[in-house]
Amino acid sequence: MPYKRPQGTSDILPEEIKKWRFLEEQAREVFDRYGYDEIRLPLFEHTNLFARSIGEATDIVEKEMYTFGEGKNQVSFRPEITAGLVRAYLENNMHKQRAFRKLFSIGPAFRHERPQKGRSRQFHQLDVEALGTIDPHLDAEIIIMAHQFFKKVGVENHEIIVNSTGCPGCRPAYREVLKKALSPHLAKMCENCQNRYERNVFRILDCKKDACKKITAETPVITEHLCSSCGPHHDKVIELLGKYNVPFKSDARLVRGLDYYTKTVFEIISTSDGLGSQNAIGGGGRYDGLIHELGGPELGAIGFALGVERILLAMGEENAATADQEINMVYVVTRGDEEKDFAFEVIEGLRNAGIKAEMNYEGKSMKAQMKAANKSGARFTAVIGPSELENRSVNLKNMETGEEKKVELEILAEAVDK
């Protein structure tokens, strides 16, 4: 074919849409139960919004954004949803109506990464943000909600990795401790980590190279350097997660790829084989400085985003059922062209009565139409021949039981409903 989709994008075909809709419906149900309202946002924002929030020295902002234009007019496709959502919360004065607000948004995000299984350039997130509070109960609640969601969609094999990333109060001191501990080993570390040492030393803890991992395994951890605000906050979150049976693991070396985080950070990992290295099906954390950083008041916030494509992969691995919806569909079959006008009247009548209905537009034989009816999953066929045409009725067949009866058009929708 002369035209192919760009690398790292996919066409989500009708056969797969059922699973997507299932996932989105389940997400909406769970998020609603926990008090989140939906918000829809632009797919691109001013580039400086992302630089200011995600951080200038992050991989996302440095090399992964799709950016257009210059200066004040420069915009980028969103590499995540949080920054735009906080911008909208402030721009629409939501913080003035009531500071505490729970919001969610579902949609695509874009990152120019090297595509591989579970990693694409256009992917989709289920994003949840609770804005306006520093209460640790909310940290626990949001993690419990993510766990509930995964259980609901049949992704039983998952683990939640939790850490604290401190705050601007305690992080600078830990940064120095970490730098001091790493400095004698710098020459043995990969080039990327050598660059990160000055620019963003915490990212070194996330390096997957064996040589670097060996060194960072021995370095002091942040949880030993948390301040009097972050320490008790972290203890409370851990206590609550334990109490509500969330399958979590503390990992003092967990760092996230976005700079806005403070205190609680977490990642949700699929423990099924088959997702390979891209097994993070979600990630999030607290970002108590971001609302102020973007021009708003000093308010705390926490959120997470789940990756739809990776969840679908995990569901496939676990053979999770995506409840097939039973639909009351009628497939109208005609003997010849003479009955077509009447068939059209029948399907339009059914659709008006709220029933899904279909007929044949391709001049197929009756046998081929019956085959098409079978394939469509219709619960009924309505056969129309010359005699049905004459007395304005159909021969209604229940495809499951094989039961057949003649039904007049006037009472057809009622009969199907019954």
Binding residues for ligand HAM, per CB under 6 A? 80, 82, 111, 113, 119-120, 123, 125, 127, 129, 257-258, 280-285, 303-305, 307, 309-310
Residue number, 304 or 331, with CB nearest to ligand HAM: 304
Phi, psi of 331 (to 5 degrees): -110, 120
Contact criterion met (CB below 8 Å) for 291 and 95: yes
Between CA 47 and CA 76 the distance in angstroms is 5
Question: Which of 135, 133, 153 is CA-nearest to residue 27?
Answer: 153
CB 158 → ligand HAM: shortest distance, Å?
11
CB 172 → ligand HAM: shortest distance, Å?
22
CB 145 → ligand HAM: shortest distance, Å?
13
Residue number, 288 or 339, with CB nearest to ligand HAM: 288
Between CA 50 and CA 80 the distance in angstroms is 9
Residue number, 123 or 380, with CB nearest to ligand HAM: 123
Residue number, 166 or 182, with CB nearest to ligand HAM: 166
Residue number, 130 or 241, with CB nearest to ligand HAM: 130
Residue partners of 379: CB distance under 8 A and separation at least 6: 326, 327, 328, 329, 330, 398, 399, 400
Residue number, 130 or 355, with CB nearest to ligand HAM: 130
Residue number, 261 or 380, with CB nearest to ligand HAM: 261
CB atoms within 10 A of CB 159: 15
Residue 331 CA to its chain's centroid (Å): 35
CB 268 → ligand HAM: shortest distance, Å?
7
Between CA 28 and CA 104 the distance in angstroms is 9
The residue written with tokens 């949700």 in the block is 268
CB 238 → ligand HAM: shortest distance, Å?
19
Residue number, 237 or 330, with CB nearest to ligand HAM: 237
The token duo for 288 is: 């108590």
At 334 the three-state DSSP class reads strand
Q: What are the residue ranges of helices labelled H in 330-393?
A: 340-352, 366-376, 386-390
CB 30 → ligand HAM: shortest distance, Å?
16
The residue written with tokens 């940064």 in the block is 175
Between CA 418 and CA 413 the distance in angstroms is 9
CB 129 → ligand HAM: shortest distance, Å?
5
What are the angstrom distances between the C-alpha of 402 and each of 10, 208, 233, 333? 41, 60, 64, 16
Question: Which of 178, 168, 207, 165 is CA-nearest to residue 190?
Answer: 207
Between CA 302 and CA 102 the distance in angstroms is 10
Residue number, 174 or 304, with CB nearest to ligand HAM: 304
Q: Which residue is nearest to ligand HAM (CB)?
A: 307
Residue number, 258 or 389, with CB nearest to ligand HAM: 258
Between CA 332 and CA 350 the distance in angstroms is 11
Instruction: Please return the burial class of 197, using the count of CB atoms within 10 Å of its CB with bins 0-12, 13-18 and 19+.
Output: middle
CB 282 → ligand HAM: shortest distance, Å?
5
Residue number, 28 or 179, with CB nearest to ligand HAM: 28
CB 83 → ligand HAM: shortest distance, Å?
8
CB 17 → ligand HAM: shortest distance, Å?
18
Question: Which of 126, 128, 122, 106 is CA-nearest to residue 65?
Answer: 122
Name the DSSP class of 232.
H
Walk across the sheet containing 329-334 and list its strands. 356-359, 329-334, 380-384, 393-398, 404-408
CB 192 → ligand HAM: shortest distance, Å?
18
